[in-house]
Amino acid sequence: MPKDDRPDAERVDLPVLARPLQEYVGRNLRAYRKHKGMTQETAAELLGFDVRYLRRIETGQMNLQLQTIDHIARTLEVDPLEFLTGGPWDEDPVTDQS
């Protein structure tokens, strides 16, 4: 984290992600989709995506724009921040505190 030389600035230690962020987004998208009983084909149609694009998102191969994450979350009726930090089905910790 870059040093902030302002006298009134407080240091904020942010957690370090244990894996690339796009993997969390993909894993959480897959978990929410399955929880809602959707196939990849059904979810892709609902989201307006090609099924191959959805697969690439779910496997962590896509670096998505925030607008796309917001679109996915709102369409699936999920809090967008859960796509970024790990959802309730994430078995691995989102951050590595070591």
Q: How confident is the model at residue 95 (pLDDT cuts 50, 70, 90)?
A: very low
CA distance 82 to 25: 8
Environment class of residue 25 by beta-carbon count within 10 Å: exposed (0-12), middle (13-18) or buried (19+)? buried
Tokens (6 digits) for 35: 């929880």
Span 19-58, pLDDT tens digits = 778 888 888 899 899 989 999 999 999 999 999 999 999 9
CA dihedral 44→49→55→61, nearest 10 degrees, is -150
> Residue type at 92?
D
DSSP tag of 93: -
Q: What are phi and psi of 6, to 5 degrees?
A: -70, 135
Tell me what pLDDT residue 16 has: 65
Residue count of the chain: 98
Residue 91 has pLDDT above 80, yes or no: no
Q: Do 84 and 20 touch, CB atoms closer than 8 A?
A: no
